Amino acid sequence: MQPYASLDKLRHDISDIDSRLLTLLAKRRELAIAVGNYKLETQRPVRDVTREKQLIEKLIEQGKTLSLDSHYITRLFQLVIEDSVLIQQALLQKALNDSQQHAVRVAFLGPKGSYSHLAARSYASRHFEQMIEVGCSKFQDIVDQVEKGLAEYAVLPLENTSSGSINDVYDLLQNTGLYIVGEMTLPINHCLLVSQETSLSAITTVYSHPQPFQQCSHYLNHYPHWQIKYTESTAAAMEMVASLNDPAIAALGSEAGGQLYQLQAIDRQLANQSQNITRFIILARKPIQVSKQVPAKTTLLMATGQQAGALVDALLILRQHDIVMTKLESRPIHGNPWEEMFYIDVQANSNEPAMQAALQQLTELTRYLKVLGCYPSETVAAVIA
């Protein structure tokens, strides 16, 4: 038999299995939606950590008999379970907030192909029937679009596992009347994208948004002669590289985004952290109700007095009510040199009695307190067996 013929046959069989896997995953999702509807009627919590643990344990056992590695099985099914939890959370949220909108306008840092665009699409696929894309060129424009009623939702990147907090977005939150109504995480795989056949040694200039340059600083240190050029988004960098069509010019961005501009990746996984993940927040003009059946997060904006221990006193209030803090960030207050605004994420629903009591005490203690939003926590990691 010709080697090519056998390769064709093998690939045909692999494609066949992949397609059957997809059909099964879609069936699994349908069952998860049915479970979601059952939970809606019976008021049961979406997450069942014991069930997740048992499920993964059983799969690992079965995997052993099939010579499949437990780490591989865990990673695969964490993703599958995450999808199922998020789809159920979206279902409960829709029922509670009675949102009748079919086509919603979502503003993000565009143009097409940016990470924000991928995040907006992924969030919309779970939450809305149809998304009308509103690509913006600045963070401020995204917020303005929603504030002016030209879009219903804003998608903004807030923090990244390699480069940390995105200060410009934190600062915007101090001055907007919008509320946080959702969050999501997106794995970010930065690639070096080029418009034609070339090699790393031929590159002289790289275009991208400042964030990818920060997140790939270790990789870039190997090429100190590369000229760095900033653009307003990774997609703008891709657009530029496509239009210049020069073998010495590259962009840092996502492979999927690059495909929209006919760019090819010549190097991948360039971020300093192998787990390079960005957390995005979703903003809207009105706050939402979060179902008691889903894990919730609340984000607070707070200015304490200048007295010694003011922040500690505030945090002690959270501890007193057994409220877990997942993030604390501080940013300067514009116009008040050396004064700080604190951003606090807690694992709690702002409607719970414990949180209500804590908010009451914090209002008495602090100079300024605002609930920026309460939203379903989408940083779901299925429990490892």
Ligand X SMILES: C=C(O[C@@H]1C=C(C(=O)O)C=C[C@H]1O)C(=O)O
Q: Which residues make up the interface to ligand X (CB under 6 A)?
A: 32, 35, 47-48, 51-52, 55, 81, 84-85, 88
Instruction: Choose between 48 and 246: whose C-beta lies nearer to ligand X.
Output: 48
Closest distance between ligand X and the C-beta of residue 74, in Å? 13
Q: Which residues of 43-55 are buried (b: 16+ CB within 10 A; e: fewer)?
A: eeebbeeeebeeb
Closest distance between ligand X and the C-beta of residue 80, in Å? 6
Which residues 6+ apart lie within 8 Å of 20 measured at CB? none
Instruction: Choose between 85 and 251: whose C-beta lies nearer to ligand X.
Output: 85
SS3 189: coil
Instruction: Choose between 26 and 312: whose C-beta lies nearer to ligand X.
Output: 26
Q: Is 116 exposed, middle or buried (0-12, 13-18, 19+ CB in 10 A)?
A: buried
Closest distance between ligand X and the C-beta of residue 256, in Å? 25
Token readout for 360 is 């009451």
Instruction: Choose between 48 and 133: whose C-beta lies nearer to ligand X.
Output: 48
Instruction: Choose between 45 and 305: whose C-beta lies nearer to ligand X.
Output: 45
Instruction: Choose between 34 and 328: whose C-beta lies nearer to ligand X.
Output: 34
Q: Which residue is nearest to ligand X (CB)?
A: 84
Closest distance between ligand X and the C-beta of residue 25, in Å? 11
Can you give the C-alpha Rg of the chain in angstroms? 23
Instruction: Choose between 36 and 135: whose C-beta lies nearer to ligand X.
Output: 36
Evaluate the CA torsion angle 283, 284, 288, 294 in order and state its sign: negative
- Is the CB of residue 106 less than 8 Å from the CB of residue 120? yes
Order the strands of the 296-303 sheet from edge to edge.
325-333, 336-346, 296-303, 368-376
Instruction: Choose between 202 and 383: whose C-beta lies nearer to ligand X.
Output: 383
Closest distance between ligand X and the C-beta of residue 77, in Å? 8
Closest distance between ligand X and the C-beta of residue 81, in Å? 4
Closest distance between ligand X and the C-beta of residue 293, in Å? 11
Bridge partner residues of 156 (DSSP): 281
Instruction: Choose between 32 and 154: whose C-beta lies nearer to ligand X.
Output: 32
Instruction: Choose between 47 and 321: whose C-beta lies nearer to ligand X.
Output: 47
- Is the CB of residue 186 less than 8 Å from the CB of residue 115? yes
Taking residue 326's Cβ as centre, other Cβ atoms within 10 Å add up to 12
Closest distance between ligand X and the C-beta of residue 296, in Å? 16
Which residue, among 304, 300, 301, 299, has the nearest Cα to 339 in the 3D structure?
304
Which residue, among 214, 210, 216, has the nearest Cα to 192 in the 3D structure?
216
- Is the CB of residue 116 less than 8 Å from the CB of residue 110? yes
Closest distance between ligand X and the C-beta of residue 48, in Å? 4
DSSP states along 269-329: --SSSSS-EEEEEEEESS-----TTS-EEEEEEEE--SSTTHHHHHHHHHHHTTPPEEEEE
- Is the CB of residue 192 less than 8 Å from the CB of residue 137? no
Closest distance between ligand X and the C-beta of residue 299, in Å? 24
